[in-house]
Amino acid sequence: MTTTTTTEGSAIVTRGLTRHYRGPGKQTVEAVRDLDLEIGQGELVAFLGPNGAGKTTTLRMLTTLVAPTTGTAHVAGHDVVTAQRDVRRSIGYVGQGNGAGLQQLGRDELVSQGRAYGLGRRAAHARADELIDDLDLTAVARRKVSTLSGGQRRRLDIAMGLVHLPRVLFLDEPSTGLDPQNRANLQELVRRLHRETGSTVVLTTHYLEEADALAERVIVIDRGRMIADASATTLKRGLRDLVVLGFDDESAAATATTRIARVGAEALVEQTGSEVRLRSRGAHAEVSDLLVDLAGQDLAVRSVEVARPTLDDVFLELTGRSLRDAHEGAATETKQDEDEVAA
Ligand SMILES: Nc1ncnc2c1ncn2[C@@H]1O[C@H](COP(=O)(O)OP(=O)(O)OP(=O)(O)O)[C@@H](O)[C@H]1O
């Protein structure tokens, strides 16, 4: 059965999308709560949030792998509950595990995937060769999957997700576990794919830098709820720069902290050893006035660093917690696999 949403041009539309699981002690875990979302054709979107925020559950509902408890979701115009086959035909999904079979050659995996999506033998071979070319997989394609590096396997997984030219590509934490160089390569690959194919790309990440560098739109998720939805630039607009002033020693920094707090031009003064950290809206203008004032007090500033706001600052502003801390805290929680509340 094919259903069509009323929202023209949208790749993804959700209304009140919610998923509960049964957690330890039989209490209900609200993994995703009341998500209203609209993602247009051709957008590149990142779901950003700490461990356990609900990113994977959202992706699994949008890819028909998990049924919503309540609410609705349409992907490429099809209902994820009543038109699962249509949804699956329209999407590519690269999950957190490696999708490729270990003993197969990379190219054979691509061909098998094409066949699984209904391509004829000749078409599946042609598509595999096209992807090998496009994604620079020539060396990878001739080797057994078990011998590939983490970065090579992720690239092969992405190629497998693209075999049937999906309208919407979902990537669940594509660069987790990769070293910085491979992460940068993978991000470049995603950017290029998005540019060249015009597909909608939705990825999850808990790397702030990745969301910042890659996505046109960042949807911040925390504790199952969407708490922000905008471009990284818009999210950071209005937040203060971080200014770190270095002094000769702790006592000079303490005197400077008192002075800065008294002058009151800057906000959130905090001393750590011989450094003073503060937030400033117009760091460049304010800091030069401050340096003149401190020099007038015989307080020599030995170093000045000014950092623009990051997405971590956005998360802190929204939740009162740093994303990095939230991430570590949640990582200690246990997952109760296979103990799901029936939808
Ligand atoms: N199968 C399951 N059974 C019970 N609880 C689950 C299950 N899957 C997820 N959860 C719980 O649902 C919440 C959301 O988990 P989810 O995996 O969606 O988060 P996430 O943002 O993708 O995290 P990560 O970055 O660690 O992948 C967590 O509290 C998690 O423990």
- Architecture of the domain made up of 10-236: 3-Layer(aba) Sandwich (3.40)
Q: What is the pTM of this model?
A: 0.81
Q: What is the ipTM of this complex?
A: 0.97
CATH code 3.40.50.300 region(s) in the chain? 10-236
Ligand 1, pocket-test mutation among 26, 28, 29, most atoms within 8 A of CB: 29
The boundaries of every CATH 3.30.70 domain in the chain are 240-307
* Domain 240-307: assigned CATH number: 3.30.70
Tell me the CA–centroid distance for residue 108 and ligand 1, in Å. Answer: 33
Helix 283-296 to helix 250-263 angle, to the nearest 10 degrees?
A: 120
Taking CA atoms only, the protein residue closest to ligand 1 atom 12 is 31
Residue 215 near residue 44, CB atoms below 8 Å: yes
Residue 69 Cα to ligand 1 middle (Å):
15
CB atoms within 10 A of CB 259: 17
Best residue among 56, 204, 219 to mutate for probing ligand 1's pocket (most ligand atoms within 8 Å of CB) is 56
- Sequence-distant (6+) residues with CB within 8 A of 293 are 259, 263
Per-residue pLDDT in tens (0 to 9) along the chain, 343 residues:
444 444 567 999 999 999 999 888 888 999 999 999 999 999 999 999 988 899 999 999 999 999 999 999 999 999 999 999 999 989 988 877 655 566 678 898 889 888 888 888 999 999 899 889 887 888 888 888 888 888 888 888 888 888 888 899 999 888 877 788 878 888 888 888 888 888 899 999 888 888 888 888 999 999 999 999 999 889 888 788 888 999 999 999 999 988 888 776 556 678 999 999 988 776 667 788 888 888 898 888 999 998 888 888 888 888 888 877 766 555 444 343 333 333 3
Residues near ligand 1 (Cβ within 6 A) = 21, 23, 29, 31, 49, 51-57, 206, 333, 335-337, 339-340
